[in-house]
Amino acid sequence: MPTYQIPITHQPPDLSLLTGLAWKNDSLSYEELAGYLANKHPHTITVVLDNLSPELRNRKTHVQKTQDVLMSRYHELLHQLLTAELGKEAANDQYRQWLEKYRQRWLNEGQTKDLDDYILELEMEPRYQKVIQKRYKNIEKLKQPRFTTHRERYYNLPEPITHVDWRSPYDNLFIWTEDSQKPACAGRYVARGGSGSSGARETNSRFIFALGLLNQKQPISSHLFVYDKTNQLYQLHTFSTLTVPKYDIGANYHLETARQKQVLRGTCFMWWENFTELQKLFVGTEEELV
């Protein structure tokens, strides 16, 4: 199959593909997983994650902003002086001893303040406060609380797929249907792969190998979406055979090269020009990626 480009269009998404799902994962090997999924109508959905437009990163309509409390500059200096005096390893060991020393008092006094506050007030301040006062004129200013703003981009997909690991440039969803005589066990299930964490990479590789093996016996359809720079979801294409991002396959779930090629025979792969801004999407076979 020759390499071809997928147009980045703005087709409305078929949300029925993404609704009525429940999370499910397991520890089956890829071969066991292929057998398990054989009669369960498996398919894949890939959502390419374009970067959010810079002008939208502060808008409440596109990003949920929360404030996280940071250690005050004064407390930070106390910790720095402890480390400078004892060294990192010994300082950590000393701090652990102080935690044990004051834990019972903290419990007895009803946990009305943080356990760390006992250490700061009774151990570290008497030890280093004069050193800090010699360096800084306004010590009260150093004690003022500090905050940082955490921004989490909204992922406007149906429940339960409302959060994603933004470290990954794509969201791979592996979906199948379970028919059961027990109503509580029937339904559509989904597992997630990606590149953001070791667990996501393992799931990604294991399911792609399983479906690649199964695809040689029964075609596995794949659906391609894009979550664009304005948090809008669009549907780009549906493939009649297994088609997945070429990235991270084999990561955290390794197969020998010869075996991997054999398992993925007939699988198609998609890739894009860069991860900074989605401009062009391509699809081709494994041979064309070498």
Query: 41's torsion region: left (phi>0), alpha (psi -120 to 50) or beta?
Result: left
pLDDT at 3: 87
pLDDT at 276: 81
Helical ranges in the chain per DSSP H: 30-37, 73-86, 88-108, 115-119, 125-135, 139-142, 198-215, 257-263, 286-289
Confidence grade of residue 288 (pLDDT, cut at 50, 70, 90):
very low
Instruction: Identify which of 230, 172, 176 has the alpha carbon closest to the alpha carbon of residue 56.
Output: 230
Question: Structural domain of residue 119, as residue ranges?
Answer: 73-144
pLDDT at 287: 52
Of 144, 175, 192, which one is at a domain's C-terminal end?
144
Is the confidence at residue 255, as pLDDT, over 80?
Answer: yes
Say whether both 163 and 105 belong to one domain: no
Say whether both 80 and 223 belong to one domain: no
Average pLDDT over residues 20-35: 92
pLDDT at 279: 86
Say whether both 124 and 169 belong to one domain: no
Say whether both 229 and 274 belong to one domain: yes
Of 86, 120, 144, which one is at a domain's C-terminal end?
144
Is the confidence at residue 182, as pLDDT, over 90?
Answer: no
Q: How far is CA 80 from CA 76, 117, 177, in A?
A: 6, 16, 55
Average pLDDT over residues 119-141: 93
Confidence grade of residue 181 (pLDDT, cut at 50, 70, 90):
low
